[in-house]
Amino acid sequence: MSQENNQELDQNAEPAEHLRATSQLIAHSRAELGRVISGQNEVIEEVLIAVLCQGHALLEGVPGIAKTLIVKALGRLLGLGFQRVQATPDLMPADILGTTILRPGSADFAFHAGPVFTDLLLVDEINRMPPRTQAALLECMEERQVTSDGTRRPLPAWFTVFATQNPIDFEGTYPLPEAQLDRFLLKIRVAYPSEAEERQILERHHGGSGAGLLEDASIEPIPEGLLAAASAEVRAIRIEPELTTYILALSRRTREWPTLLLGASPRAAVSLMRVAQAAAAFDGRDYLLPDDVKRAVQPVLRHRVILKPEAELEGFDADRVLADVIAAVPVPRQ
């Protein structure tokens, strides 16, 4: 989702009347989060899209570039609950899901809810969790519930997992299986800030009270009900049959692409449609264009496709292959 497109929209176009809540949410979010986060406009947009589409997001980037701060600030902005789990090799499923304990002085057992019972769950360094603990998140992410001792316990309606991982450090990690990766709506790449943005970070810390940027900023939450209204507007974005065919063609083409071992699943095609709708809403339109679909392809599919070993040896990566797939699929005529 390009910053240039957003700026062009702000200057030259009025949002569609049907997107009043979405445009209010976007304007408020940019103003408030901009007081805490320097740069990272595309990342901020994509984490907002994850919540609006009620999906989950995997944030990948080196340590120290505000991945955790972005999610914490988002929770305050949206007025949602926030919990953080630091993944370690000895983390057990009960540590995040909760466990049944004996009540003191009685013979009754009570369920002690884990940190997963929240709106925004940040799992830091998710690939440091052992496989059985990673698997414990599968039901939560797909069905938004936890089954414990045969009892189904629903999670909050806005339950969203934001997981982080370091693309460089692989020692002592457990790579996420394809089944888990497929449950993430987006894989967001968080890059280093520009020189001007990094200077702003230094100045903010120098002028701060020491309590932290988040405390100093005093983020103003959005009005109650605005998030639900914006999410409904995004789901209502109009999709013409030709665009549905285009989404289908892109996802199916990845399954036969010569440099890919594994292509996009049907769940990935649904995710591509939902994120493209959000991209259109962020551009102030209540209808889908092929460009919205193109902009959604890489963040939606880059973690779902698997390259053949020989393609990796030749220097290909997922984004490059997906760019080739986009170029090869005919764009529907308007």
Tell me 126's DSSP state. G
Whether the pLDDT of residue 8 is over 60: the answer is no
Per-residue pLDDT at 98: 92
Segment 40-96, tens digit of pLDDT = 889 999 999 999 999 999 999 988 888 888 999 999 999 999 999 999 999 999 999
State the Cα–Cα distance between residues 322 and 272, nearest whole angstrom.
13
| Mean pLDDT value of segment 289-294 | 96
What percentage of the chain has pLDDT greater than the value 90? 69
pLDDT at 10: 43
Q: How far apart are CA 182 and CA 264, in angstroms?
A: 9
Rounded to a whole number, what is the largest CA-CA distance in the chain? 72
Query: Domains of the chain (ranges plus CATH)?
Result: 3-236 (3.40.50.300), 238-334 (1.10.8.80)
Residue 8 or 268, more confident: 268
Average of per-residue pLDDT across 228-247: 95
Please give the pLDDT value at position 96: 95
* Half-sphere exposure in the Cβ direction for 251 (13 Å, CA): 21
Helix and strand numbers (H, E) in the chain are 15, 11
**Is the pLDDT at 12 greater than 60, yes or no?**
no
pLDDT number for residue 168: 81
> Does the model's pTM come out above 0.75?
yes
Q: pLDDT: is 39 or 45 the higher one?
A: 45
Phi, psi at 102, each rounded to 5°: -80, 130
At residue 211, does pLDDT exceed 70?
Answer: no
Who's near 52: CB < 8 A, 6+ residues apart?
22, 25, 227, 230, 231, 234, 278, 281
Question: Nearest-5° angle of CA 249, CA 282, CA 231?
Answer: 85
- Give the model confidence (pLDDT) of 180-196 as tens digits: 999 999 999 999 989 99
Tell me: the pLDDT tens digits for 91-125?
A: 999 999 998 887 787 778 888 899 999 999 999 99
- pLDDT tens per residue, range 243-264: 999 999 999 999 999 999 999 9
Q: Is the pLDDT of residue 169 over 90?
A: no
Q: Among 22-36, 113-127, 213-227, which is the least confidently predicted range?
A: 213-227
Q: What's the alpha-carbon Rg for the chain, to the nearest Å?
A: 21
Q: Read off the pLDDT of residues 295-334 as tens digits, 9 standing for 90 and up.
A: 999 999 999 999 999 998 888 999 999 999 999 999 997 6
Distance CA 332, CA 271 (A): 20
pLDDT of residue 13: 47
Helix or strand (DSSP H, E) at 101? strand 98-102
- Residue 73 has phi, psi (to 5 degrees) of -65, -35
